[in-house]
Amino acid sequence: MIVLGIEGTAHTLGIGLVDDSGNVLANVLKNYQPSEGIHPREAANHHAKHLVPAIEEAFEEGDVRKEDIGLIAFSRGPGLGPCLRTVATAARALSLSLGVPLTGVNHCVAHLEIGRLTTEADDPVLLYTSGGNTQVIAFSRGRYRVFGETLDIGIGNMLDKFGRGKGMPFPAGPIIEEIAADGSSLLELPYSVKGMDVSFSGVLTAASKMDAPLEDICYSLQETTFAMLTEVTERALAHTKKDEVLLGGGVACNQRLREMVDIMTRERGAASYAPLKSLCVDNGAMIAWNGLLMYDAGLDISVENSGILQGYRTDEVDVLWRQQKDLF
């Protein structure tokens, strides 16, 4: 069976085609480019406009016909209401017109499952770092539990806001990474770890006001915030007694973050993994794959019960497709 997955929680519209052996046949991404922060209605209009052409492109890329589709999966939440509603409407219409079942996927869980599919990670702690989300997630007692998270903004959001203040286009994360490569002086910034949680608003304000060469600010911003993330991830490993870290989310494209997590895991005798960049960022393939896992576990939904879940929590999902492994 081939699954068509639609991602649209925020600025990315993604259409993915995945078969039941876990092959990604197509993964088309269309990004809304906000001029000043993401405007939910404008992002939703972007998704509506690109939906049909993106699906056609995915069919072409994967050499798939609409008759081959056996399941529709969509990102049910968490995310921006207008964006979620737009992709949910498209998913329902496709499910009805093709006469195939429907699954509604938790976006954060999908990041983890695509990593389990495409890397060697089997039972990892996921460090999920994107624009809107920053969470440390691991499987325990039938659910993906959130062991730590940001108390305010996501790390990518923090980087983008800092960058906007310095005149960088969106997304600023990759530009900051490039500039940081020329920095060497570690400036003091607020290091904000509270138990298993982190916060970024203080470091954003401090870095934005700092009077120093931009390369040193970018370098220090990365070193400080990535160290915070590495610290809470290490504590989650110790707590859960797991020995794998999986990276996910757009900020996981950052080489320095990957390197810091890699050093930490190697020092513990553990391992770290990151999916291909096109599967790290928001994408439709991860929604398609997680949708198939859900369908196989009997978790498909009727059109009547397919309402979006804007504040869908990672630990609300009954992970019936995984065997109980740990009992801690």
Give the footprint of ligand ATP on residues 214-273 (CB under 6 A).
Answer: 249-251, 253-254
Is 255 exposed, middle or buried (CB count within 10 Å of its CB: 0-12, 13-18, 19+)? exposed
Fill in the amino acid letter for 135: Q
Fill in the amino acid letter for 93: A
Which lies closer to ligand ATP via its Cβ, residue 10 or residue 287?
Answer: 10
DSSP H helices in the chain: 40-62, 81-98, 107-118, 155-165, 173-180, 201-209, 214-240, 255-267, 277-280, 284-296
Least spacing, CB of residue 31 vs Fe ion, in Å: 13
Which lies closer to Fe ion via its Cβ, residue 154 or residue 183?
Answer: 154
Q: Return the axis-axis angle of helices 214-240 and 255-267, rounded to nearest 10°.
A: 40
d(CA 214, CA 219): 8
Which lies closer to ligand ATP via its Cβ, residue 5 or residue 19?
Answer: 5
Handedness of CA 47, 53, 56, 57 (dihedral sign): negative
Fill in the amino acid letter for 115: G
Give the footprint of ligand ATP on residues 77-116 (CB under 6 A).
Answer: 79
Q: Which does 13 bind (CB under 5 to 8 A by kind): Fe ion, ligand ATP, none?
A: none
Give the largest Cα separation in the chain, rounded.
Answer: 60
Check whether the bond before 78 is cis (ω within 30° of 0).
Answer: yes
Least spacing, CB of residue 153 vs ligand ATP, in Å: 10
d(CA 78, CA 59): 27
d(CA 261, CA 127): 9
Stretch of 53-61, 75-83, 122-130, 172-180 contacting Fe ion, by CB under 5 A: 122-130
Which lies closer to Fe ion via its Cβ, residue 134 or residue 220?
Answer: 134
Task: Give yes or no for residue 130 binding ligand ATP (CB under 6 A).
Answer: yes
Which lies closer to Fe ion via its Cβ, residue 69 or residue 280?
Answer: 280
Which lies closer to ligand ATP via its Cβ, residue 32 or residue 295?
Answer: 32
Least spacing, CB of residue 13 vs Fe ion, in Å: 13
In contact, 106 and 76? CB cutoff 8 Å: yes
Q: Which of 156, 183, 275, 284 binds ligand ATP (CB under 6 A)?
A: 156
Give the footprint of ligand ATP on residues 4-43 (CB under 6 A).
Answer: 9-12
- Residue numbers at the binding site for ligand ATP (CB under 6 A): 9-12, 79, 130-133, 154, 156, 159-160, 171-174, 177, 249-251, 253-254, 281-282
- Residue numbers at the binding site for Fe ion (CB under 5 A): 130, 282
